[in-house]
Amino acid sequence: MTAPTVVARLAGLAVETRASGLPEGLREDFGALCAAMQRESPQVRESAVRASVRKMSAQEASRYAALVVRLFAGMARVEAQATFPAGRNARSAPVVQLFAAEG
């Protein structure tokens, strides 16, 4: 994925979750992501997220995009542990295929 694509996709990120609703192990990373997405003042008709991402370098945007994936994976692990408690075979779980959205 090219840097401008990562920046554009990261700019479309909408965060509707509160850190208190996350497992304790993910809260610090989520807080860092939220702070990074709100650190710049928006221009007219622009969100703080879009302004913050616009000011990021491609490398920084890629780092935060990877953080989003790590947070998603962490939440998936927590859900899997709740669904398949110790003693149940998680290998029998259905597999969900993920596809990249091309825009």
Give residue-wise pLDDT tens across range 66-75: 888 888 888 8
In a domain, 60, yes or no: yes
**pTM of the complete model:** 0.63
Angstrom distance (rounded) from CA 10 to CA 19: 19
- What integer is the mean pLDDT of 4-19? 58
List CB contacts of 33: < 8 A, sequence separation 6 or more. Answer: 15, 64, 67, 68, 71
User: Is residue 97 in a domain?
Assistant: no
Number of domains comprising the chain: 1
Average pLDDT over residues 13-30: 72
Give the domain extent around 84: 3-92
Distance CA 86, CA 14 (A): 34
pLDDT at 71: 84
Examine residue 68 and state whether it is found in any structural domain, yes or no: yes
Average pLDDT over the chain reads 75
